[in-house]
Structure 1
Amino acid sequence: MAEVIVYTTEPCSYCSRVKMLLSKRGIAYKEINLARDADGRSALAEKTGMLSFPQVVIDGELIGGFDQTVAADRAGRLAALAA
């Protein structure tokens, strides 16, 4: 099974929504909350090029934020990547 990591912050309604989507699809994930970790946020931004949250990463591949994760789900790509 793929390693799924969801980088979050708070408050973040899109973070909650992406976690609900993954849970509905039966996709286990690890959450890393960077709300109180400025260095972690900077390192993640350097790594992914994204400043917004959530950020979904599957086996080291950036899927993107909420909209990109929903699009991957609708295209059937999310289930394939997480398998």
Structure 2
Amino acid sequence: MIVTIYGKTDCLYCTKAKQLAEMNNCEVEYLLFGKDFTAKTMLEKFPNARTFPQIVVDGESIGGYLELESILNET
């Protein structure tokens, strides 16, 4: 499973999502707001998003930390 996390500095759920994915042996790509992507990119990729992190699993946007936790609990 490939997990891409769009996170930001000082975001507890961003850190927790990364740790959770790594603990479940996922391939993790962590992208940091302001360094790896911009607000424009965020709006283009996730037009309805209002919070961080935004997570993509195997190319599909799933939402945030709770959605990742739910998916990983199913596997």
Determine if the TM-score, normalized by the shorter chain, exceeds 0.5: yes
Deviations 1:49-83 (A, max 9, x none): 2121111112321011001111111222xxxxxxx
Alignment of 1:1-83 (within 5 A): 3-34=2-33, 36=34, 40-48=38-46, 49-76=48-75
Which of structure 1's runs of 4+ aligned residues deviate more than 2 A? none
Is contact 1:45-1:51 (8 Å) kept?
no
Gaps of 5+ in 1: 77-83
What is the total number of aligned residue pairs between the two structures?
A: 73
Structure with bigger helix share is 1
Is contact 2:3-2:21 (8 Å) kept?
no
Higher gyration radius (CA)? 1
TM-score computed with the length of structure 2 as normaliser:
0.80
Structure with bigger strand share is 2
TM-score computed with the length of structure 1 as normaliser:
0.74
1:29 match: secondary structure: strand
Gaps of 5+ in 2: none
Q: Distance in 2 between matches of 1:17 and 1:59?
A: 19
**Identical amino acids, percent of aligned pairs:** 26
